A and B are shown apart, each in its own frame.
Chain A
Amino acid sequence: GQSLEQPSEVTAVEGAIVQINCTYQTSGFYGLSWYQQHDGGAPTFLSYNALDGLEETGRFSSFLSRSDSYGYLLLQELQMKDSASYFCAVSSMIYNQGGKLIFGQGTELSVKP
């Protein structure tokens, strides 16, 4: 099966940098994704890593270490609108499970002025 762990809450101030960690256990690991959700609305895709290293998309970066089964999402120049829940998710390369995306429990980020 699959399991993911991430902190339940993180607080930071506007303009700062924050890192949200995610550790996972899964068979047939394919990649690690990150999603953002505001106020219980539809989650939206942020980033994806299949290979070790850092992926950068504007103010957001995501990192993966396959050997450590670990990844993180890095948010820079925090803005008030970044207050949201952030989820890591793993996908599987096992045949016919490619469509299966398993999510962590989410990290609620609060950005303070």
Chain B
Amino acid sequence: NAGVTQTPKFQVLKTGQSMTLQCAQDMNHEYMSWYRQDPGMGLRLIHYSVGAGITDQGEVPNGYNVSRSTTEDFPLRLLSAAPSQTSVYFCASRPRGGSNQPQHFGDGTRLSIL
């Protein structure tokens, strides 16, 4: 019963490097989202997707790209890492069919940009 799986769990990057945070879910959920969490800032939505091939921007999309080629996977790409992107990143998924459907979160990726 894997749920939402994020890899890696920890990562340190240098400024200017690029990388992809992986997210996979095995619950056949249509909706997937990426959030970042900084101290005192709560969970801020970066990008979200309502199905394969459909993505949209959230509250803080700059510096990040996403794609959704399959229902299961929703990778988040940092194009050129900046220290301001140091954060904890959470991927989440939930089924279509009413907002009473709980959103399931992965365990997070702790990312530090030096």
Q: List A residues at the B interface (Cβ < 8 Å).
A: 8, 30-31, 33, 35, 40-45, 48, 50, 87, 89, 91, 96-106
The closest CB in chain A to the CB of B54 belongs to A96
- B93-105 CB mask vs A (1 if < 8 Å, else 0) is 0101001101111
Whether the pair B43, A48 counts as a contact (CB closer than 8 A) is no
Whether the pair A87, B45 counts as a contact (CB closer than 8 A) is no
Whether the pair A45, B99 counts as a contact (CB closer than 8 A) is no
Asked if B12 CB lies within 8 Å of chain A CBs, one says: no
Q: How far is the CB of A99 from chain B (nearest CB, A)?
A: 4
Whether the pair B100, A31 counts as a contact (CB closer than 8 A) is yes
Q: List B residues at the A interface (Cβ < 8 Å).
A: 4, 30-33, 35, 37, 40-45, 48-50, 54, 56, 58-59, 88, 90, 92, 94, 96, 99-100, 102-108
Whether the pair B54, A41 counts as a contact (CB closer than 8 A) is no
The closest CB in chain A to the CB of B88 belongs to A40
Q: How far is the CB of B33 from chain A (nearest CB, A)?
A: 7
Instruction: From known contacts A8-B40, A30-B99, A87-B42, infer whether A102 and B50 are also in contact, taking CB-CB under 8 Å.
Output: no
Whether the pair A43, B43 counts as a contact (CB closer than 8 A) is yes
Instruction: From known contacts A50-B99, A96-B54, infer whether A103 and B107 are also in contact, taking CB-CB under 8 Å.
Output: no
Q: How far is the CA of A108 from the CA of B66 in the complex (A)?
A: 31
Q: How far is the CA of A98 from the CA of B92 in the complex (A)?
A: 14
Q: How far is the CB of A58 from chain B (nearest CB, A)?
A: 15
List the A side residues contacting B43 at CB < 8 Å. 43, 87, 89, 103, 106
Q: How far is the CA of A101 from the CA of B105 in the complex (A)?
A: 12
Contact partner of A45 (CB less than 8 A), chosen from B44, B48, B96, B103, is B103
List the B side residues contacting A50 at CB < 8 Å. 99-100
Instruction: From known contacts A48-B100, A105-B40, infer whether A99 and B108 are also in contact, taking CB-CB under 8 Å.
Output: no
